[in-house]
């Protein structure tokens, strides 16, 4: 499986998992792996939507400026085929001014691709009148050609087998200048691929951005000058319906219509494949507004009305004077491009849906945040290795909420969350038990002062400094709690965590009471013992004195005898 078209590159470090590219990709040709977006080359139609919408500028168009500079140094004439949308990109700058500026860069000459457009539209007119065709789809837009080749093979037979204006013009240049190198300059990513795939006609392709950057480096200013030329009707080509504006539209029995935008074209192609459309010429452009809405119009600017008016005022009423080649010289073959991965089975799809938490149709929100239009389409992409389950935002949200809710619900600690207005946003069962709250709805959205002293919350909010393991007594609830209050600046929330330590305090008080009682008893025992000792000592003292006196008298009596 090709993972990247040659004309697009990806700066992997810039991919931020926003899924915007897959959301805007009309054919979902982007694969996500390792938190990175990867373009699937054999599915991509090079419409450039991913390049335009990427907020990180992770998608880059391959710059061929250095390749063109090598051509200029070769000595061969290098001639520019300038897309007619240039008049919308470079305000007030006509073909003469563009020619003078580009010649300063070293180009031999500059011509308008609109000359090739005249050749192509003339061939379309011939086909409608001479060929017995039911439906003809214009083949000017390479992205539309790729869309049909890759996704609508049944409609391939209706795709006009005619070269694009770029190819018709560059082919004409090479007839007139056999040794010339041709460089197309325009607003289209797909033209780089077309030039590479159909080699030998267009030697290089530059975008308007690349040309502008080159002119800036060489300090070449574009002059404000418009050219009046009545033989320039094909300058209308880069607008929606521009091809039709240049055509006679007089083929008997045919309906002529113009469609822009890949989604609109896909809808029409589905109708064509189902046999609902007949006998018509359809001009198709992948870009809304056609080429003036191209993905690499300089600075990605979108001024559809102003740009159309610039083209309309620049285009003349008559065709360019060109040499019309024979039909066989304008032939271009389109073949089916195999790209699709094997479709997964219903069992595989159902298994992935279950992993995403989608057990019944009601669970399939089809919110589109992953970039896919439906949960089922996303499940198919996962089966094909193009997407990851983690891309489902509701799945991740539910998973995260389920995990956090499990913690919140089962933790023995009371949790209360307040906003910066000190209003209760969340409260868990443990906190409700501590504060004797019957249901959460009784306090959610209410000021915290209704249930708690707000002083500590106010202090934390004002100072930004949290409180850790502060033991307080909630008199109104007759409970002791050890509270931690933190302020989350990112979410603008105050989070209170309360651990009920009432039993600890009660046990502590019991122990202190027992200790006090023990000390009192000990004091009484000591006092009593001291009294007894003193009494014993007193008695012993009296007895000893009397004994001493008696013995003395006995001694004296014996001595006198």
Mean pLDDT by 10 residues, the chain (561 residues): 59 76 90 82 90 85 94 96 96 95 97 97 96 96 97 96 98 96 96 94 96 96 92 95 96 96 96 95 96 79 85 95 96 89 86 86 80 86 83 68 70 91 91 91 91 94 92 90 92 91 79 76 76 77 66 63 56
Question: What pLDDT does residue 553 have?
Answer: 65
Alpha-carbon span 64 to 312, nearest angstrom:
30
Alpha-carbon span 69 to 320, nearest angstrom:
30
Alpha-carbon span 508 to 517, nearest angstrom:
14
Alpha-carbon span 379 to 349, nearest angstrom:
6
Question: What pLDDT does residue 543 have?
Answer: 67
Alpha-carbon span 358 to 349, nearest angstrom:
11
Domains identified in the chain and CATH numbers: 1-62 (3.30.70.20), 63-330 (no CATH), 341-404 (1.10.15), 411-500 (3.30.450.20)
DSSP annotation of 261 reads: S
Transcribe 163-223 into DSSP letters: --HHHHHHHHHHHHSTT-EEEEEES-SHHHHHHHHSTTT--EEEEHHHHHHHHHHTT-PPP
DSSP annotation of 159 reads: B
DSSP annotation of 317 reads: S
User: Strand, helix or coil at 517?
Assistant: helix
Burial bucket for residue 218 (CB in 10 Å: 0-12, 13-18, 19+): exposed
Alpha-carbon span 170 to 186, nearest angstrom:
13
Do residues 183 and 78 make contact, with C-beta atoms less than 8 angstroms apart?
A: yes
| CA nearest neighbour of 240 among 280, 281, 291 | 291
For residues 418-431, one letter each, b for 16 or more C-beta atoms within 10 angstroms of the residue's C-beta and e for the rest, the string is beeebbbeebbbbb
Reported as type and span, the H/E element at residue 556 is: helix 502-560
User: Strand, helix or coil at 93?
Assistant: strand
Q: Which two tokens stand for residue 484?
A: 């931690």
Instruction: Provide CB contacts within 8 A for 512, sequence distance 6+.
Output: none
Alpha-carbon span 540 to 234, nearest angstrom:
141
Question: What pLDDT does residue 33 have?
Answer: 76
Do residues 114 and 98 make contact, with C-beta atoms less than 8 angstroms apart?
A: no
H, E, C per residue of 334-385: CCCCCCCCCCCCHHHHHHHHHHCCCCCHHHCCCCCCCCCCCHHHHHHHHHCC
Alpha-carbon span 295 to 300, nearest angstrom:
6
Categorise residue 508: left if φ over 0, alpha if ψ from -120 to 50, beta otherwise. Answer: alpha
Alpha-carbon span 90 to 226, nearest angstrom:
11
The whole-model pTM stands at 0.72
């Amino acid at each position: 499986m090709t993972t990247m078209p040659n004309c697009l590159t990806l700066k992997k470090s810039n991919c931020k998992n926003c899924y915007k590219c897959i959301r805007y990709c009309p054919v979902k040709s982007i694969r996500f792996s390792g938190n990175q977006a990867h373009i699937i080359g054999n599915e991509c139609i090079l419409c450039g939507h991913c390049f335009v919408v990427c907020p990180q500028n992770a998608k880059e168009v391959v710059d061929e400026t250095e390749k063109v500079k090598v051509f200029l140094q070769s000595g061969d004439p290098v001639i520019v085929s300038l897309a007619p949308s240039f008049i919308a990109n470079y305000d007030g700058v006509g073909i003469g001014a563009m020619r003078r500026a580009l010649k300063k860069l070293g180009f031999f000459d500059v011509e308008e691709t609109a000359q090739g457009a005249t050749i192509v539209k003339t061939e379309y007119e011939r086909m409608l009148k001479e060929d017995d065709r039911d439906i003809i789809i214009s083949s000017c837009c390479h992205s539309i050609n790729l869309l049909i080749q890759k996704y609508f093979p049944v409609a391939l037979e209706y795709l006009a087998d005619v070269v694009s204006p770029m190819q018709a013009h560059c082919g004409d240049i090479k007839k007139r200048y056999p040794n010339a190198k041709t460089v197309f300059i325009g607003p289209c990513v797909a033209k780089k691929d077309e030039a590479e795939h159909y080699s030998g006609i267009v030697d290089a392709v530059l975008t308007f951005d690349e040309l502008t950057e080159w002119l800036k480096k060489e300090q070449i200013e574009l002059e404000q000058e418009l050219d009046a030329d009545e033989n320039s009707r094909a300058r209308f080509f880069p607008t929606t319906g521009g091809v039709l504006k240049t055509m006679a539209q007089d083929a008997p029995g045919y309906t002529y219509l113009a469609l822009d935008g890949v989604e609109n074209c896909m809808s029409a192609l589905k109708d064509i494949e189902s046999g609902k459309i007949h006998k018509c010429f359809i001009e198709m452009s992948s870009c809304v507004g056609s080429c003036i809405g191209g993905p690499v119009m300089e600075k990605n600017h979108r001024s559809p009305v102003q740009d159309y008016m610039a083209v309309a005022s620049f285009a003349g009423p008559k065709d360019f004077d060109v040499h019309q080649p024979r039909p066989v010289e304008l032939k271009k073959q389109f073949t089916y491009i195999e790209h699709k991965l094997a479709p997964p089975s219903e069992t595989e799809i159902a298994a992935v849906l279950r992993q995403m938490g989608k057990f019944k149709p009601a669970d399939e929100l089809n919110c589109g945040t992953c970039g896919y239009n439906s949960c089922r389409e996303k499940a198919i992409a996962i089966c094909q290795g193009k997407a990851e389950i983690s891309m489902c935002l509701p799945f991740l949200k539910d998973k995260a909420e389920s995990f956090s809710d499990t913690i919140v619900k089962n933790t023995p600690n009371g949790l209360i969350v307040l906003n910066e207005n000190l209003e209760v946003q969340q409260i868990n069962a443990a906190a409700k038990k501590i504060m004797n709250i019957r249901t959460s709805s009784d306090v959610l959205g209410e000021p915290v002062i209704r249930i708690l002293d707000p002083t500590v919350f106010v202090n934390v909010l004002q100072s930004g400094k949290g409180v850790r393991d502060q033991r307080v007594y909630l008199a109104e609830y007759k409970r002791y709690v050890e509270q931690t209050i933190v302020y989350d600046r990112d979410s603008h929330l105050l989070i209170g965590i309360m651990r009920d330590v009432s039993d600890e305090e009660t046990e502590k008080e019991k122990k202190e009471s027992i200790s006090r009682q023990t000390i009192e008893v000990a004091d009484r025992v000591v006092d009593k013992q001291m009294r007894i000792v003193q009494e014993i000592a007193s008695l012993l003292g009296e007895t000893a004195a009397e004994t001493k006196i008696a013995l003395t008298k006995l001694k004296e009596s014996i001595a006198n005898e």
